[in-house]
Amino acid sequence: MHLYDVKDRTVVVVDILRATSCMVTAFAHGVECIHPFADLSACKAMKAKGFITSGERDGKKVDGFDRGNSPFEYMGEDVRDKKIAFTTTNGTQAIEKALGAKKIIIGSFLNLSSVIKYLLFGDNNVLIICAGWKGKVNLEDTLFAGAIVEKLRNHIEPDCDAPLAAQYLYNLAKDDMMGFLSNSSHVKRLQRLNIQKDIEFCLTPDQYSIVPVMKDGKLTIT
Amino acid sequence: MHLYDVKDRTVVVVDILRATSCMVTAFAHGVECIHPFADLSACKAMKAKGFITSGERDGKKVDGFDRGNSPFEYMGEDVRDKKIAFTTTNGTQAIEKALGAKKIIIGSFLNLSSVIKYLLFGDNNVLIICAGWKGKVNLEDTLFAGAIVEKLRNHIEPDCDAPLAAQYLYNLAKDDMMGFLSNSSHVKRLQRLNIQKDIEFCLTPDQYSIVPVMKDGKLTIT
């Protein structure tokens, strides 16, 4: 990430399991806005301002928070028109690192085609930030990046081999992403938390046709 | 790289096209030692001390240097028992970043099996540093890392998904690495320099049975 100047770029932030999948799900169910926080206590403090406090550390819901990091917690009528303060181990850290970008949008398999359309008809200079796990590579975010590269392959000129590697991996995995990921470090970590249903949902493409966009420190859909 | 503490690790530095392939070739042809330099002028200054000065910037031989970055320049009798000062765009930078590691060794397809044996019978904690291109990912170094992961798959516990991704890519590529790499950024860059023969040679496994090891600021084989 430190190798890239985001100033002139459209940045897609990706944390498939599960931050950006939760965010997309929440917006699809009528959430007004999401304020992402890298810092836990700053996020917690938003409760006093009427926000729903949401998130996890090391995959587990934070004590005292209203909600955790499962997309199924963001599907009820009780989130409609609400404001959410969100902090996670990886996803919201990645958003913070992207601050200063020309545009920041939120990507997940759940809104894959909408993200692709947004990029295809938007500015040319794109960076996909795979949140990974504590800064290290994970496969599921890489597969999402690979899906974008595959679908936009006739429209892009990568400036290193990472997009090509992601594309190869996506094509290898696309017919059975769950099986492909079963050996991955993060999926193993999450399986210990009994969230198989979350993982399956987060790997399902095109459930929602929205693109959350960051503006003035908060995410909205327009 | 900044995510890893190398202090307790055996670090394998990899720059397949072409720094570490050159180094392995040079040692296989009797070179006494190689002093790697990240800095160009520090490398140049070694000529006055009787060293052969070698290397490249942006893939091209440096003006005033004795040799460039083709393995075929390190196969003659005229390198036997010589000392080399070596600087390259990526490989020697990666070696400098690895300084402080418990052990630093040089890997390439040319000495693949020897590196694998060294790791199998050595200490457990291994980090493979893929030099890439100016800090960014390239496929050929990733494939080498994947080859090591594949061969040692029953002996390792990766701490992120990068080794797994590299392993998948290697298995996809192994029967035709040249074809697989034909779209990669670095191979395209090098093809413009007319060094197809170098690329083919650098992708050939097990030409030499040596492992260069860094000690007291220089590489030797023991």
Nearest-by-Cβ selection for A3 from B135, B164, B168? B135
Q: Can you read off the two tokens belonging to residue B116? A: 């694998």
Question: What per-residue confidence (pLDDT) applies to B58?
Answer: 85
* Paired strand residues for A133: A136
Instruction: Give B-chain residues touching A133 at CB under 8 angstroms.
Output: 160-161
pTM of the complete model: 0.93
Nearest-by-Cβ selection for B160 from A168, A183, A185? A185
Q: Which residues in chain B show pLDDT less than 70?
A: none
Please check whether residue A56 is in contact with residue A181, taking contact to mean a CB–CB distance below 8 angstroms: no
% of chain B beyond a pLDDT of 90:
83
Q: What is the total residue count of chain A?
A: 222
Nearest CA in chain B to A159: B185
Nearest CA in chain B to A180: B168
Please check whether residue A199 is in contact with residue A187, taking contact to mean a CB–CB distance below 8 angstroms: yes
Nearest-by-Cβ selection for A137 from B161, B169, B183? B161
Task: Report whether pLDDT(A193) > 80.
Answer: no
User: Quick one: DSSP state of residue A51?
Assistant: P
- What is the predicted ipTM? 0.91
Task: Report whether pLDDT(A189) > 80.
Answer: no
Question: What is the Cα Rg of chain B in Å?
Answer: 16
Instruction: Give A-chain residues touching B136 at CB under 8 angstroms.
Output: 3, 159-162
Residue range A129-146: average pLDDT? 94
| Cβ contact, residue pair B164, A133, below 8 Å | no
Of B199, B179, B221, the residue nearest B24 (C-alpha): B221
* Paired strand residues for B128: B12
| Cβ contact, residue pair A185, B138, below 8 Å | no
Nearest CA in chain B to A143: B165
Instruction: Give B-chain residues touching A186 at CB under 8 angstroms.
Output: 161
Longest dimension (CA), chain B: 49
Q: Can you read off the two tokens belonging to residue A75? A: 């599907």
Residue A195 CA to chain centroid, in angstroms?
Answer: 17
% of chain A beyond a pLDDT of 90:
83
Residue range A199-215: average pLDDT? 97
* Paired strand residues for A215: A218
Question: What per-residue confidence (pLDDT) applies to B21?
Answer: 98
Nearest CA in chain A to B135: A3
pLDDT in tens, B44-101: 999 999 999 999 998 888 999 999 999 999 999 999 999 999 999 999 999 999 999 9
Angle at B135 between CA B129 and CA B138, to 5 degrees: 75
The nearest CA of chain B is from the CA of A46 a distance in Å of: 31
% of chain A beyond a pLDDT of 70:
100
Q: Does B41 touch chain A (CB under 8 A)?
A: no
Nearest-by-Cβ selection for A169 from B160, B165, B186? B165
Q: How many Cα neighbours within 13 Å face the side chain of B1?
A: 22
| Cβ contact, residue pair B137, A159, below 8 Å | no
Nearest-by-Cβ selection for B184 from A3, A132, A164? A164
Please check whether residue A103 is in contact with residue A211, taking contact to mean a CB–CB distance below 8 angstroms: no
**CB contact burial B98-134 (16+ within 10 A = b; e otherwise):** beebebbbbbbbbbbebbbebbeeeeebbbbbbbbbe
Which region, left, alpha or beta, applies to residue B25 given φ > 0 means left and ψ of -120 to 50 means alpha? Answer: alpha
Question: What per-residue confidence (pLDDT) applies to A159?
Answer: 84
